[in-house]
Amino acid sequence: MSILPQEIIRRKRDGGTLEAGQIQAFIEGMTSGRVTEGQAASFAMAIFFRGLSVPERVALTRAMMQSGDVLTWDLPGPVLDKHSTGGVGDTISLALAPAVAACGGYVPMISGRGLGHTGGTLDKLDSIPGYVSQPDIDTFRRVTREIGCAIIGQTADLAPADKRLYAIRDVTATVESVDLITASILSKKLAAGLQGLVMDVKCGSGAFMDNPADARALAESLVLVANRAGLPTSALLTDMNEPLASAAGNAVEVAYIADYLTGRRREPRFHEVNVALCAEMLVLGRIVATLAEARSRIEEAITSGKAAEIFSRMVVALGGPADLLERPEKHLVTAPVVREIHAERPGIVQRAATRDIGIAVVALGGGRTRPQDPVDHAVGLTNLAEIGATVDSERPLAIVHAQTPEAADAAARAVRAAYTIGDSAAHPGKLVLEHIGATA
């Protein structure tokens, strides 16, 4: 059995099946530095075109999990997490983790940076002044134990091979590979020592998987591989044919969550998906027996302010300001150019090219085109119009937050092009499309 990196790449390139030992050797090489950037990129591209069998997916996931520390927990409640495959305006994690913690779950959430046109939870956290988004493992453990949740970025100690491959995928057009997505997500979750995981697999114009068949295939892959690797997992397919929230960016999404948790503004679309995912987690963790009871518990946690309290305590425990939720404008960076974007004619929003809206945020500086690129936390879009909304001289398509007038102009052109305006009534589609059970 050859374990030379180039021979492993060659075997997969030619359509062969890799043995677990070969996959383990390649991942160990990525961790040690013996495997070069070019070899890692070639490996990703070979997998993208040739695919992996289920045993290969499990082997890759386990190898990446074992490339660093694997956490264990001794807590009085279930250790649970949620992961989204990414979208635009998808800042659910910041609302979900404290809500589940308020109901007795423990949520040690390890998040990632933005990939392609989608925002990353870690980039949003980094917009909070003082918040240490990549603490040491002992701090991560302590905050999870004491507060009930800790949302951090991937540390050097947890699945380091994935951290390297994650960045390479973003710039080599291999992000959409079901095999690589599966191993990337699950290696981090397995390393976190979870006892239950709920996947939010996005489907639609702003998702990496834009049609239901592909999204279902990804969900089934994640559920199957996770359960075979020993992690009870279920998945929800949710709609991403328009931004999930009316804000897309980094600081602007943190401000959105401040409004959501405090009750200043709770948009039904965002709230429905959040409650559905939280409820699924409570049932998977056996905190409650039924989804109806779980939904009731989550609604109470949010409306009572308990979830907001836990979020604030988490922020303080990780170095952020105590009054972030009450006074986000005091702490979050803002862009110098804030301008309404109006449609070229009045009418009703029929469709949204959601990916293009995400790309507009990246072009403003709110995302990356290279792994080493800095992110501008201040820029983004707010007040994004929903499908079915009437837009005119009073109601804009969005508000752009930019560093320069020229950047605002470019974003305005992109946003106008992303929306289809008509005269007939239009209604958003179903939000939760399908459930993939843990026994799949």
133 tagged catalytic: no
- The one catalytic residue in 62, 189, 313, 368 is 189
- Catalytic (active site) residue 202: no
Structure tokens at 140: 């991560």
Tell me which of 31, 84, 187, 238 is the catalytic residue. 84
Dihedral angle computed from the Cα positions of residues 402, 407, 409 and 410, in that order, rounded to the nearest 10 degrees? -120
Catalytic residue among 12, 57, 83, 355: 83
Give the separation between CA 41 and CA 244, rounded to whole angstroms: 32
Amino acid at the residue 381: L
Let me know: does 226 contact 197? Beta carbons within 8 Å. yes
Bridge-based pairing of strands 380-382 and 248-249 is antiparallel
Q: Alpha-carbon distance 178 to 214, whole Å?
A: 9
Catalytic residue at 189? Answer: yes
Instruction: Walk across the sheet containing 419-422 and list its strands.
Output: 390-391, 347-352, 419-422
Q: What angle do CA 28, 33, 37 make, to 5 degrees?
A: 105
- Which residue in the list 81, 123, 179, 239 is annotated as catalytic? 81
Which candidate in 42, 111, 177, 184 is catalytic? 184
- Virtual torsion, Cα 25, 26, 30, 36, nearest 10 deg: 130
What long-range pairs does 372-377 form, CB within 8 A, spacing at least 24?
375/113, 375/114, 375/123, 375/126, 375/250, 376/250, 376/335, 376/403, 377/123, 377/126, 377/127, 377/249, 377/250, 377/251, 377/332, 377/333
Which helix (H) or strand (E) element contains residue 233?
strand 233-239
Q: Who's near 185: CB < 8 A, 6+ residues apart?
A: 83, 85, 199, 222
| DSSP-derived secondary structure letter, 115 | B
Q: List the catalytic residue out of 11, 12, 57, 82.
A: 82
Distance, CA of 45 to CA of 175 (rounded, Å): 10
CA dihedral sign of residues 308, 312, 317, 320: positive
155 is catalytic: no
HEC sequence for 318-352: CCCCCCCCCCHHHHCCCCCEEEEECCCCCEEEEEE
Classified as helix, coil or strand, 310 is helix
Q: Which residues pair with 80 in a beta bridge?
A: 196
Read off the amino acid at residue 191.
Answer: A
Report the half-sphere exposure of 419 (CA within 13 A, side-chain side).
29
Q: Is 81 a catalytic residue?
A: yes
Which listed residue (67, 111, 121, 182) is catalytic? 121
- The string over 294-327, giving b where at least 16 C-beta atoms fall within 10 Å of a residue's C-beta and e elsewhere, is bbebbeebbeeebbbbbbbbbbbbbebbeebbee
Which one is catalytic: 12, 117, 164, 169?
169
136 is catalytic: no
Catalytic residue among 113, 164, 188, 342: 188
Q: Is 163 a catalytic residue?
A: no
Catalytic residues: 81-84, 121, 169, 184, 188-189
